[in-house]
Chain A
Amino acid sequence: MNPALAGVALAVTAGAVIAASSREARAALVGLALVLGFGPFLAEPLPGAAILGARVVTGVLVVYLLWAVTASNESPGLGSRIGWPAETAIALGVAIAGVAMASGLASLDPSLPPPAEAPDPLDALTPAALALGAGLASLVVGLAPAFFGRGALRTAVGLLLVVQGLVLARTGLAGPPGALEQLGIDGLLLTLGTSAALIAIIERRSAGDAEPGDSRRGDDGRPARATIGTTDRDAAMPSAR
């Protein structure tokens, strides 16, 4: 077992729990920063310095973007309904299951040496097992906020946890992605964070608007068409409509 990698895996798992369960935007973003900042280090061999730097900087940038648009405002909908102890229990359970899965998978890979007769339990904590465990933990605790979160920030936190969890699980299952795929994942994280930040800005703009569900909403509850899809230019050129 590599103690440094075990520490990184613990930090990623703890960050995922904090991000998914915190009711404060700043704390949730600190947790997300732990996941996105430390996640790229959970690989053996480590990617090159440039790729590693790009992954970490992207993570920090995504967190900063979300911080800039939400931290100074109230962010409704944050926090887990089941509370952080339950989230922690789920994350630890899934992480242990991930480590066990990785041990099983290692026995299937013909390129790896056969396991020792009486292995030390800590030997199971290989880099692949740590990545798979932390990745599955991050993925599972991110699912609820990603798909049932009400606000942009909670949805963004959930989706980013799922992406990073998937990448870590992929690292544990099939080895670290190639350099260009790492950059592609960087692009995905950045676009996801920027899109969520954009939606958060629109939400903030809505604070001055009327409540949803007013006359601008159609009878079926869908957005009223006449208001969406128009721009200032349309208003200036009424004949164009």
Chain B
Amino acid sequence: MSVLLLAALTIPGGLAAFLTFGRPRVGLAIGGLTSILAIVVAASIGPHDAAPLVGTVVSGSDGLRTVALTWAAGIALLGLADVLVGSGGATLGPSLMGLGTGVLALSVADAGIGFALLTAGGMATALGPLAWLHGAAPDVALLGLRLLRPLAVAGFLGLAAVAWGASALGPFVAGDPLGGSDPALEIATGLGLLVVVTAVVIRMGAIPAHVWASRLAEAMPVAAVPATLGWGAAGFALVALAWVDVTIAPAAAPLFAERGLIALVAATSVLLGGLAAILHDDLEHILGYSIVQDAGIALLAFSEIRPDLALAGRDWLIGMVAVKSGLAAWVLVTRSTFGARRLSELRGWARSSPVLGLTFAVVALGVVGLPGMATFGARGLLTESAVASPFDLFVLAAAFAPIVYLGRIAVAGLDRMSDAVLAAEGTRPRLRGIRPAGWSAASVAVVARAVPAAIRANRFVIAAATALLVAVIGLGVATAGIAGDAADETLGGAGGATGATGAASRFEAGR
């Protein structure tokens, strides 16, 4: 029931926050309240949480609770930082709608529902903030069309693959377990796998479908990036993994060419995504291309269809999205605090703001990882199993590109302070001067009236503390992972394929 409650809370709540954003106080009050309630409801999701919904069962699990709780907390904290120092909270309502549809999509055993809901949620998350952007309107409209098309295409391909899987051409009806391997079915199974992986490549912005992701990262408010490219895309990939597990894996076709092609695309994304993050000088592109690189590693889970790799893929997806939410929060606050986005303009940022320095250290630890962390093990397993030796070592080495691009940021932070950094307010707390009479010698009412001014004066330090909290949550998820939780109760649909049960029973009936 908690999953349904979460969807019933966040979808209308997010819509109301989005529609009332023209009156910022009302919109933010609705969005903030919905975010807090979403965290509470997400924390109550559990394995015994099952409820019927129009012919389908919506069920929870420990893994889903981890995902929903981290997603909801990320939205609330990033939303708070965005309100204080970013776009004013324009991303809060759309992100909440994405949360509601995403968690609902992951709770049903039907990939068709999952792809439809996640595509709808992705569109709302990516395009909603456009309504409140005051840029050059032709450019904003063009950006909207450039974001709308890839999101739609990914959803269409996912739905098409699901339709094929449940049809008479799919493995449930066409496959004859007693008749040996059928070359036509093997080709069809390979094409089905390629179609759904293409959908994932486009949705996650992996190379060569990275252009829209790059545009999103450079032009949209930073708080919209983890919601669209992170959580929504990870949910899409989780549903795709579940569909492959149910539809493609039982066919037991070797699919050498298809798996090789997927591994090639994944390795290209890992190599070039990391290289692009190293070469770019501005924070938004570094964030965007680091997510592209993560997508490449996640794609490796599709190149070898094995249960342990699917679990490693889930660990990697959720852990990295949580960590990259922390990186996005750090980018948002750093950019706003110093009024600069290029590394050359941000020299000395860490010396000026120790809180942001600590946040960055936590993010870097989560991104690079340490032995024993879930994401560290998942990355090693995915590269080792999916890429042939000795190329796996190259891909694994490229997967550690964060050491270089995050190292550059760290070195810049310890350099002499640039003019932009020197001129910035910084993130030190300011308590003096807000109330001349002092805090202790005044009545409660007077102190309460001074609170808004105190928040305004300290907005950068509050935002920095918020970013630190997001980074710590991300590190926790990256360390613990969700594979153990999800091993017994599949995340993204236990059935995994639309009509799978119906098609299988038709097959049985016909025999």
Contact = CB atoms under 8 A, between A and B. Distances in A.
Contacts of B121: 191
B156 A162 contact: yes
Which of A163, A187, A211, A216 gathers most chain B CB within 10 Å?
A187
Given A105-B167, A174-B166, A198-B131, A229 B507 contact: no
Nearest to B97: A191
B503 A225 contact: no
A29 interface: no
B67 interface: no
B137 A203 contact: yes
Given A105-B167, A184-B112, A191 B123 contact: yes
B367 to A, nearest CB: 24
Contacts of A147: 149, 153
A205 interface: yes
Interface string B109-138: 010110011011101100110111111111
B215 A222 contact: yes
Contacts of B164: 173
Contacts of A203: 137-138, 141
A233 B163 contact: no
A202 B117 contact: no
Given A229-B133, A231-B134, A174 B123 contact: no
A108 B173 contact: yes
Contacts of A234: 87-88
Contacts of B136: 206, 209-210, 212, 214, 216-217, 223-224, 227-228
Contacts of B142: 212, 223
Interface in A194-219: 195-196, 198-199, 201-203, 205-206, 209-212, 214, 216-217
B173 A110 contact: yes
Interface stretch (B217-225, B259-267, B322-330): B217-225
Given A109-B173, A159-B152, A231-B132, A225 B145 contact: no
B112 A181 contact: yes
A11 interface: no
Contacts of A206: 136-138, 140-141
A188 B116 contact: yes
Contacts of A105: 167-169
Contacts of B110: 178, 180-181
A196 B149 CA distance: 10
A163 B156 contact: yes
Which of A167, A217, A232 gathers most chain B CB within 10 Å?
A232
Interface string B204-248: 000000000001001111000000000000000000000000000
B78 to A, nearest CB: 15
A73 interface: no
A72 interface: no
B361 interface: no
A179 B54 contact: yes
A188 B155 CA distance: 9
A211 to B, nearest CB: 7
Which of A111, A166, A174, A232 gathers most chain B CB within 10 Å?
A174
Nearest to B125: A191
A232 B110 CA distance: 42
Given A188-B155, A217-B139, A231 B133 contact: yes
Contacts of B54: 51, 178-180, 183
A42 to B, nearest CB: 15
A184 B90 contact: no
Contacts of B135: 216, 223, 227-230
Nearest to B218: A225
A170 B130 CA distance: 33
A35 to B, nearest CB: 16
A192 interface: yes
Contacts of A10: none
A199 B130 contact: yes
A185 B130 contact: no
A155 B145 contact: yes
B56 A179 contact: yes
A41 B359 CA distance: 55
B310 interface: no
Contact of B139 (A112, A170, A228, A233): A228
Nearest to B11: A187
Contacts of B86: 240
Interface string A3-14: 000000000000
Contacts of B149: 146-147, 155, 159
12 contacts: A105-B168, A111-B506, A147-B153, A174-B170, A177-B498, A181-B110, A187-B116, A199-B144, A203-B141, A229-B220, A231-B134, A239-B425
Interface of B: 24, 53-56, 85-88, 90, 101, 105, 108, 110, 112-113, 116-117, 119-121, 123-124, 127-128, 130-145, 148-149, 152-153, 155-156, 159-160, 162-164, 166-170, 173-174, 215, 218-221, 336, 339, 425, 459, 498-499, 502-503, 506-507, 509-511
Given A170-B163, A228-B139, 9 more contacts: A152-B141, A155-B149, A175-B499, A187-B116, A188-B117, A195-B123, A217-B139, A228-B219, A230-B135
